[in-house]
């Protein structure tokens, strides 16, 4: 393979070649830089690059050689993209906000430090909406990110820059975060894999609030094995984040390589919480039925997620008030209306309202545990609509039903968030327009290995992972 085609490699193959000495970290930095230069004018996925820093890091790794022994999740000098919500030392990090348009942090986030310690080379920052608020990737600092499958379409959000960069072959791996679907929605819209892991699986921070578990950090890649490799690199306890978990005994990548079909799977087209466009529901149902071809029992069933809307709206608003309340007082004129609404909603909540939301969430969690006593996995759409026009700020209606707020259309994702169960979006099929649709695969608490293994089995059935990466396609 020529140097100018290295971007087509899977992450697993690129790491194999790095370890075998067939390519160098600098080769891959240059390949990524060339691919970004070739494609990003069409996408606006990677607005901030740190190429000289990446080249210096690559040369340093080439001089030092690999550590002995290599840590689990060793990436061997593979370039990665970091979502612009996570601090990266010496690299402009804006959080998509004009308030921080010129912000250059002195220290990286724990997640970035871990990736670099395990052989990743940060090549740049991926675009995100302001403070990650909203499932449409645009902001006043860098503008909109376009979908490589059709430049007239959105990549959703908030990890939209990461998703577009992966689908177009700009990078082999990318980071994301997820509160109400921000890893899963962009994955669905771009035909990649975006995994929301269990709370504590990936270190966050240094944290400004302890023991919060609605928002998590997670991996994005073009297939199940690459996603598992990145999750292995991210995982493990960290002394600065008291929520973190020890890495499991079996590597996630090994669970994918040894994937076996689950016994019993539930499928629901709507989880009982949202309307879903009929074409999306049909594509996801057909993908779920692929598991029956593997000998799995696939049944129509859903957990009881009643109360999810009120619980999520309340607890999400609490988080915005805690994280950004001070900014609202000092920089209100620089914030978009959606962020202001979120903060003010949180500040107006009473202690009784917050207490009720916490209590109802605990009941919902117990009902989900009971559901997984009967089923190994839960399948449903990752999003309720196919990719929409890039100009849209949000989805205002689906299947003939209107939504009250800009986040209501995300219920099929945020209802799962409340359960703490890991979930991912895996490519399910293409619409009549040729646009990707994602299947949400949900596992029991801390069951990331099971959902990654199921994704690998689905990939073998559909072949959809082989469609990527792609050259950005024109609008229309």
User: Is it the case that residue 250 has pLDDT exceeding 80?
Assistant: yes
For residue 353, the surrounding DSSP H or E stretch is: helix 351-371
pLDDT band at 134 (very low <50, low <70, confident <90, very high): confident
pLDDT of residue 429: 98
- The CA-CA-CA angle for residues 164, 168, 171, to 5°, reads 85
Q: Are 59 and 38 in contact (CB under 8 A)?
A: no
- Burial of 313 by CB count in 10 Å (0-12 exposed, 13-18 middle, 19+ buried)? buried
Least confident of 200-214, 294-308, 406-420: 200-214
Token pair of 469, please? 């990466």
pLDDT of residue 328: 87
How do residues 387-407 score in pLDDT, each as one tens digit?
999 999 999 999 999 999 999
Per-residue confidence (pLDDT) for residue 280, from 0 to 100: 98
The pLDDT, as a whole number, for residue 137 is 98
Q: Kindly indicate the confidence band of residue 476, based on its pLDDT and cuts at 50, 70 and 90.
A: confident
* Confidence check: pLDDT of 164 > 70: yes
Confidence label for 423 from pLDDT (cuts 50, 70 and 90): very high
The yes-or-no verdict on residue 1 having pLDDT over 90 is no
Count CB atoms within 10 A of the CB of residue 375: 22
Q: What pLDDT band is residue 207 in, cutting at 50, 70 and 90? A: confident
pLDDT value at position 211? 87
Q: How far apart are CA 189 and CA 155, in angstroms?
A: 6
Q: How confident is the model at residue 209 (pLDDT cuts 50, 70, 90)?
A: confident
* pLDDT value, residue 295: 97
C-alpha 375/C-alpha 357 separation (Å) is: 27
Q: Which two tokens stand for residue 388?
A: 């929409």
Predicted confidence band of residue 4 (pLDDT cuts 50, 70, 90): low
Task: Please provide the average confidence, as pLDDT, over all residues in the chain.
Answer: 97
Whole-model pTM over 0.95: yes
Q: What is the pLDDT of residues 268-293, one digit of tens each?
A: 999 999 999 999 999 999 999 999 99
Q: What would the DSSP string read from start to end of 376-410? A: SEEEEESSSS---BTT-SS--EETTEE-SSTTGGG
Q: For 168-182, 198-212, 279-293, which range has the lowest pLDDT when averaged over its residues?
A: 198-212
User: CATH code for 3-310+338-467?
Assistant: 3.90.1300.10
Instruction: Kindly tell me if the per-residue pLDDT of 155 is higher than 90.
Output: yes
Q: In 218-334, where does DSSP find H-type helix?
A: 224-234, 252-257, 278-289, 308-331
Q: How far is CA 449 from CA 42, 255, 376, 417, 441, in A?
A: 36, 6, 12, 18, 12
452 touches 424 (CB < 8 A): yes
Average pLDDT over residues 115-137: 96
- 193 against 476, higher pLDDT: 193
Q: Check residue 2 and give its pLDDT.
A: 59
pLDDT score at 233: 98
Residue 208 predicted with pLDDT over 90: no
Q: Which two tokens stand for residue 213?
A: 């578990």
How confident is the model over 165-192, as a mean pLDDT? 98
Q: If you search the block for the tokens 């590597």, which residue do you land on?
A: 251
DSSP codes, 13-63: HHHHHHHHTSS-HHHHHHHHHHHHHHHHHHH----EE-HHHHHHHHHHHHH
pLDDT digits (tens, 9 = 90+) for 313-336: 999 999 999 988 899 899 999 998
Q: Which two tokens stand for residue 118?
A: 């395990």
- Paired with 141 in beta bridges are none
Q: Give the per-residue pLDDT at 12.
A: 98
C-alpha span between 116 and 78 (Å, rounded): 10
Angstrom distances, CA of residue 377 to CA of 85, 188, 418, 424, 441: 31, 18, 17, 12, 7
Instruction: Give the pLDDT confidence score for residue 3 in this predicted structure.
Output: 61
Quote the pLDDT of residue 210: 87
Query: How many C-beta neighbours within 10 Å does residue 475 have?
Result: 12
Cβ neighbours of 214 (radius 10 Å): 18
Residue 355 · residue 310 · CB < 8 Å: no
Residue 169 banded pLDDT, cuts 50, 70, 90:
very high
Catalytic residues: 83, 158, 182
pLDDT tens-digit readout, 54-71: 999 999 999 999 999 999
Over range 91-104, report the average pLDDT: 98
- The answer to whether 201 touches 216, Cβ cutoff 8 Å, is yes
Spatial CA neighbour of 472 closest among 41, 32, 182: 41
Phi-psi domain of 272 (left: phi exceeds 0; alpha: psi -120 through 50; beta: other): left
Exposed e or buried b for every residue in 389-402, given b needs 16+ CB within 10 A?
ebeeebbeebeeee
């Amino acid at each position: 393979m020529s140097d100018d085609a290295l971007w087509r490699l899977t992450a697993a193959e690129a790491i194999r070649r790095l370890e075998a000495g067939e390519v160098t970290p600098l080769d891959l930095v240059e390949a990524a830089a060339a691919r970004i230069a070739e494609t990003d004018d069409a996408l606006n996925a990677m607005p901030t690059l740190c190429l000289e820093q990446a080249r210096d890091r690559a040369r340093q790794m080439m001089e030092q050689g690999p550590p002995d022994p290599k840590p689990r999740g060793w990436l061997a000098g593979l370039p990665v993209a970091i979502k612009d919500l996570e601090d990266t030392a010496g690299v402009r990090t804006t959080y998509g906000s004009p308030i921080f348009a010129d912000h250059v942090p002195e220290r990286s986030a724990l997640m970035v430090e871990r990736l670099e310690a395990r052989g990743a080379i940060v090549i740049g920052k991926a675009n995100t909406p302001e403070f990650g608020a909203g499932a449409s990737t645009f902001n006043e600092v860098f503008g909109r990110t376009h979908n490589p499958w059709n430049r007239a379409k959105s990549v959703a959000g908030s990890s939209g820059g990461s998703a577009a960069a992966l689908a177009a072959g700009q990078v082999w791996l990318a980071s994301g975060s997820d509160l109400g679907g921000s890893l899963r929605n962009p994955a669905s819209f771009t035909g990649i894999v975006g995994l929301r892991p269990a709370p504590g699986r990936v270190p966050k921070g240094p944290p400004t609030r302890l023991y919060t578990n609605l928002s998590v950090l997670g991996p994005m890649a073009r297939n199940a094995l690459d996603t598992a490799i990145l999750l292995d690199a991210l995982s493990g306890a960290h002394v600065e984040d008291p929520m973190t978990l020890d890495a499991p005994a079996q590597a996630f990548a090994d669970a994918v390589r040894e994937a076996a079909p689950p016994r019993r799977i539930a499928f629901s087209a709507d989880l009982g919480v949202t309307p879903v466009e009929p074409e999306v529901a049909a594509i996801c149902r057909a993908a779920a039925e692929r598991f029956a071809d593997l000998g799995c029992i696939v049944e129509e069933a859903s957990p009881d997620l009643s109360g999810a809307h009120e619980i999520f709206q309340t607890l999400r608003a609490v988080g915005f008030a805690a994280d950004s309340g001070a900014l609202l007082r000092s920089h209100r004129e620089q914030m978009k209306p959606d962020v202001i609404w979120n903060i003010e909603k949180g500040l107006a909540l009473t202690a009784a309202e917050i207490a009720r939301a916490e209590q109802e969430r605990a009941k919902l969690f117990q009902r989900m545990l009971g559901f997984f006593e009967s089923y190994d996995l839960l399948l449903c759409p990752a999003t309720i609509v196919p990719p929409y026009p890039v100009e849209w700020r949000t989805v205002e209606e689906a299947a003939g039903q209107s939504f009250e707020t800009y986040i209501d259309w995300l219920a099929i994702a945020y209802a799962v968030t409340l359960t703490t169960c890991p979930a991912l979006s895996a490519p399910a099929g293409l619409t009549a327009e040729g646009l990707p649709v994602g299947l949400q695969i949900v596992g029991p608490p801390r069951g990331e290995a099971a959902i990654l293994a199921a994704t690998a089995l689905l990939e073998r059935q559909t072949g959809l992972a082989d469609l990527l990466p792609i050259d950005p396609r024109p609008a229309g």
